């Protein structure tokens, strides 16, 4: 829940000055300059020309980093679509979209595994394998050649081997700690992430993940401390919102209800499009008997008027608090804000009927008939919604 994927190192191409001659160093420098100019395919061509058989660790790692960071298309992380962009273009803007890309092949893990046998003391090769398996899991999950759990275990194994070869490789601690956390190895996660924040104190994700580990280890005071450090580093609104949610959990564990609600409000402010946070705010204000839950519910319905999942969640929240009648009244009022020909109007009527099935079958039937009439006129036809309405009408006939 708390794990956040870290991006690959900002420095793409490094080299071992004891193993590379002036000419290969120049090739890496040239590739770096092409990457700075967003000429990703040209950079890869240069690297492949310098190391056509994938036998030189520095070039292989440079190729891996380029492919994993700057692909426009990927097929199972075996084939990668690369393109030269203009300096003002970002690859994230075109990734996954149709376009003209040159596909290049590289079996990154196979190449790196072969190199670990030839260069058993080079920790960077194991780190490269850890990076690869971690990125595959991020992009493909269980849709790759092996299950997610095996990908995680492979990444962990190679990060551990890299640290055994070079305990001073501080860039690995945040990555390994994150994977321990992701796989539920909480004690190992906390220990590794403690080393991460000590060795890389300006890594916000390390503090964030350590806070998450502390929450799950029932150490809320320590979680608060780490989350606050993450807030000092983050500038992305979604990351800030996620961190505030850890603060919510920490304050709740410490029985600080008011502070928890304040943090929840900040999470919503920083990420208003996160429906989970919005619903949690409704639930928390309701628990504290603060009337704001009603207005927030109305805002949510206006923003997600035709999303059945939102209505189901609201029904659970209000039902748990024995306030279903309040939700019914809110929905009745909100229905007036939408045109009778709209999907939103029909959806609200369906959920009003669902809430009234046992309480007032006659009124429920009225709402269902009105919803069915509206859905029948909408294009394209929502057969799933019509079938659901028919099932509810049959239920009323019993």
Identify the sign of the CA torsion 188, 191, 193, 196: negative
According to DSSP, the residues that pair with 290 across neighbouring strands are none
Identify the sign of the CA torsion 252, 237, 5, 304: positive
- Using pLDDT thresholds of 50, 70 and 90, give the confidence band for residue 2: low
Contacts of 140 (CB under 8 A, 6+ apart): 76, 77
DSSP state of 9: P
Residue 217 has pLDDT above 90, yes or no: yes
Report CA-CA distances (Å) from 311 to 204, 305, 335: 35, 9, 13
- Using pLDDT thresholds of 50, 70 and 90, give the confidence band for residue 341: confident
Q: Is the pTM of this model over 0.85?
A: yes
Segment 269-298, tens digit of pLDDT: 999 999 999 999 999 999 999 999 999 999
Segment 246-264, tens digit of pLDDT: 999 999 999 999 999 999 9
Report CA-CA distances (Å) from 342 to 330, 339, 364: 18, 5, 19
Give me the helices (H) in 336-380, please: 343-356, 361-377
Quote the pLDDT of residue 23. 66
Quote the pLDDT of residue 9. 41
CB atoms within 10 A of CB 319: 12
Contacts of 394 (CB under 8 A, 6+ apart): none
Quote the pLDDT of residue 257. 96
- Using pLDDT thresholds of 50, 70 and 90, give the confidence band for residue 12: very low
Residue 39 has pLDDT above 60, yes or no: yes
Give the C-alpha separation, 154 to 367, whole Å: 55
Residue 75 has pLDDT above 80, yes or no: yes
Quote the pLDDT of residue 339. 86
Residue 254 burial (10 A CB sphere; 0-12, 13-18, 19+): middle
Contacts of 71 (CB under 8 A, 6+ apart): 80, 81, 82, 91, 95
Mean pLDDT of 308-332: 96
Contacts of 55 (CB under 8 A, 6+ apart): 115
Quote the pLDDT of residue 5. 45
Quote the pLDDT of residue 25. 85
Closest to 210 measured CA to CA, from 172, 225, 364? 225
Please give the structure tokens belonging to residue 255: 């029985």
Instruction: Catalogue all structural domains in the chain, each as residue range(s) with its CATH number.
Output: 274-398 (1.25.40.10)
Quote the pLDDT of residue 128. 98
Contacts of 333 (CB under 8 A, 6+ apart): 298
Segment 76-127, tens digit of pLDDT: 999 999 999 999 999 999 998 998 999 999 999 999 999 999 999 999 999 9
- Using pLDDT thresholds of 50, 70 and 90, give the confidence band for residue 1: very low
**Is residue 383 helix, strand or coil?**
helix
According to DSSP, the residues that pair with 81 across neighbouring strands are 73, 103
Residue 6 burial (10 A CB sphere; 0-12, 13-18, 19+): middle
Residue 386 has pLDDT above 90, yes or no: yes
Residue 391 has pLDDT above 60, yes or no: yes
CB 136 within 8 A of CB 77: yes
Mean pLDDT of the chain: 93
Residue 388 has pLDDT above 50, yes or no: yes
Mean pLDDT of 125-135: 98
């Amino acid at each position: 829940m708390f794990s956040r994927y870290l991006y690959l190192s900002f420095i793409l191409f490094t080299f071992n000055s004891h193993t590379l001659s002036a000419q290969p160093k120049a090739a890496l420098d040239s590739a770096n300059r092409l990457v700075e100019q967003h000429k990703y395919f040209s950079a890869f061509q240069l690297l492949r020309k310098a190391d056509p058989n994938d036998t030189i660790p520095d070039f292989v790692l440079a190729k891996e980093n380029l492919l994993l960071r700057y692909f426009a298309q990927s097929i199972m992380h075996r084939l990668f679509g690369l393109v030269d962009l203009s300096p003002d273009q970002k690859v994230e803007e075109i990734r996954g979209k149709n376009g003209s890309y040159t596909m290049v092949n590289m079996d990154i893990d196979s190449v790196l595994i072969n190199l670990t046998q030839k260069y058993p003391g080079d920790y960077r090769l194991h780190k490269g394998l850890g990076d690869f398996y971690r990125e595959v899991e991020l992009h493909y999950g269980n849709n790759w050649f092996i299950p997610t759990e095996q990908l995680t275990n492979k990444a962990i194994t190679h990060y551990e081997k890299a640290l055994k070869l070079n305990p001073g490789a501080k860039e690995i601690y945040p990555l390994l700690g994150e994977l321990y956390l992701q796989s539920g190895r909480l004690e190992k996660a906390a220990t590794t992430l403690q080393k991460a924040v000590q060795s890389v104190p300006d890594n916000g994700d390390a503090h964030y993940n350590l806070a998450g580990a502390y929450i799950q280890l029932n150490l809320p005071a320590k979680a608060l401390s780490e989350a606050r450090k993450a807030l000092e580093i983050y500038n992305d609104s979604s990351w800030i919102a996620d961190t505030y949610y850890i603060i919510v959990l920490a304050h709740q564990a410490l029985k600080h209800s008011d502070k928890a609600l304040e943090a929840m409000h900040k999470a919503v402010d920083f990420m208003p499009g996160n429906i989970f946070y919005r619903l949690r705010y409704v639930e928390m204000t309701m628990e504290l008997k603060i009337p704001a839950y009603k207005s927030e519910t109305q805002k949510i319905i206006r923003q997600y008027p035709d999303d059945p999942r939102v209505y189901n969640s609201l029904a659970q929240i209000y039902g748990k608090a024995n306030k279903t009648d309040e939700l019914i009244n809110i929905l009745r009022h909100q229905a007036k804000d939408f045109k009778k020909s709209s999907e939103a109007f029909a959806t609200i009527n369906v959920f009003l009927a669902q809430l009234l099935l046992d309480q007032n079958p006659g009124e429920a039937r009225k709402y269902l008939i009105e919803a069915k009439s509206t859905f029948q006129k909408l294009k394209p036809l929502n057969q799933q919604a019509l079938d659901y309405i028919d099932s509810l009408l049959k239920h009323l006939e019993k």
